[in-house]
Amino acid sequence: MGIKGLTKLLADNAPKAMKEHKFESYFGRKIAIDASMSIYQFLIVVGRVGTDTLTNEAGEVTSHLQGMFTRTIRLLEAGIKPVYIFDGQPPELKKQELAKRFSKRADATEDLSEAREIGNKEDIEKFSKRTVKVTKQHNEDCKRLLRLMGVPVIEAPSEAEAQCAALCKSGQVYAVASEDMDSLTFGAPRFLRHLMDPSSRKVPVMEFEISKILEELNLIMDQFIDLCILSGCDYCESIRGIGGQTALKLIRQHGSIENILENINKERYQIPENWPYEQARELFKNPLVFSEKEHPEIKWGAPDEEGLITFLVNENGFNIDRVTKAIEKIKTAKNKSSQGRLESFFKPVANTSTPIKRKETSESAKETAIKKAKAAGGKKKK
DNA sequence: ACTCTGTCTCAAGACGAA
DNA sequence: TTGAGACAGAGT
DNA sequence: TTCGTCC
């Protein structure tokens, strides 16, 4: 779930800390990406018609491979150097949350068989999406694929998001790309949202810098973490009746959760029993991650052409022409970006963030989108 | 009236031929 | 899974 | 731009 409402909270209270950037401006940059999140999305959506997905001869799902393959090529073609981070063991505190998700999936499985009996297509599709789970096998498949592509893979000891943030803190990558706002709470200095979107949608890449967020909110990192816990995170409950806005007010007023608890009206606000906010804070502040020396060196290599053909074509039924063409793309992209990042390419574009709201009424949605795109494009340079 | 929270719903990739 | 948007209801 | 296909 990430941090509840954090995007909106930042848009309202720290708009200058968010900047729009062009996808192309990340040429030559090393970017850390949480793999599980992507795999999950691919399994849900790639090639799905009803309950069917893309599969190989043996009937095993290949949607995640198709998705990971094409997306990674897109990144490489843009000159981006991705490194994928895989999840390890979840922390104890998150187990409760995971248990909830597990039972939801179980419910969905029941709903699914019910829907099957009735034969409602839409329901079948809806419920089957909810039963999707990223398995060990999916993860292993993707690791193998990425290694064959010459793209580095890191297996985190615990939370992938935390490992991503650590890589960014130590300067091994330029930024963390994710849709999960947790990255900021883990202290990723530079965080990108919607990195993958701009191709098909009109959403620009949104870049957050934690230092600017802290500056603009006038908080120190510890207070920001407390703010996130109060707003609602994966590790523990929050206080009913307190959302982002109120949390920010309270943190500004009292400085820490401890002080808030001392001063708050406990008649009005129910503090959860045995509230483990201190442990949650510790998980954000000092998460279990590998240091630079503890994980393999991050290197981008040449693709293993034979290996890719064996894996994708022979084992998973991919079309050989497509794979061959794709390999060519990888090689071309590699040559182009091997000189690294030309700084002259990268003119600092001073663009301010635009608060994102604006309601679109039914039919004019398309038009509005076009107008927006034009307006944004025109404003950027002057 | 206004602000905030909580609950519900929805949609979700990438490509290229037409 | 994730966020966002629309809505209702509670509190100020 | 839209729509069907990828496996």
- Domain ranges (residues) in chain A: 23-203+312-340, 219-285
CB under 7 Å from any atom of strand D: which residues?
A 46-47, 54-56, 62, 65-66, 316-319, 322-323, 366, 370
A258 CA from B7 C1′ (Å): 30
- CB < 7 Å to strand B — which of 164-223 in chain A? 196-197, 199-200
Q: Which residue's C-alpha is at the least distance from the C1' of D5?
A: A47
- Measured CA to CA, the distance from residue A46 to residue A38 in angstroms comes to 11
How far, in Å, CA of A58 to CA of A382, rounded?
Answer: 57
From the CA of A299, how many Å to the C1' of D1?
Answer: 39
Binding residues for strand C (Cβ < 7 Å): A 1-8, 40-41, 44, 100-102, 104-105, 129-130, 179-181, 234, 268, 356-357, 359-360
Chain B positions with a protein C-beta closer than 7 Å: 3-6, 10, 12-15
Q: Closest Cα to residue A73, out of A148, A171, A161, A167?
A: A148
CA R_g for chain A: 22
CA distance A93 to A77: 40
What's the CA A236/C1' C7 distance, rounded, in angstroms? 27
Would you call A356 helix, strand, or coil by DSSP? coil
**Protein residue minimizing CA–C1' distance to B14:** A70
Give CATH superfamily name and number for A23-203+312-340: 5'-nuclease (3.40.50.1010)
Tens-digit pLDDT string for chain A (382 aa): 588 889 999 988 998 999 989 898 999 999 999 999 999 999 999 988 888 899 999 999 999 999 999 999 999 999 999 999 999 998 888 877 677 677 777 777 877 787 787 777 777 777 788 888 899 999 999 999 999 999 999 999 999 999 999 999 999 999 999 988 999 999 999 999 999 876 656 678 999 999 999 999 999 999 999 999 999 888 888 888 888 989 998 999 999 999 999 888 887 888 888 889 999 999 999 999 999 999 999 999 999 999 999 999 999 999 999 999 999 999 999 998 877 676 545 544 444 444 433 333 333 333 333 333 333 333 332 2
CB A145 within 8 A of CB A65: yes
The Å distance, CA of A309 to C1' of B2, is 62
Q: Please give the CATH topology (third level) of the domain spanning A219-285.
A: DNA polymerase; domain 1 (1.10.150)
Q: Measured between alpha carbons, how far is A186 from A74 in angstroms, rounded to an integer? A: 27
User: By C-alpha distance, which of A137, A158, A27, A30 is closest to A86?
Assistant: A158
Checking each nucleotide's C1' against the CA of A244, the nearest proves to be B4
**Does pTM surpass 0.95?**
no
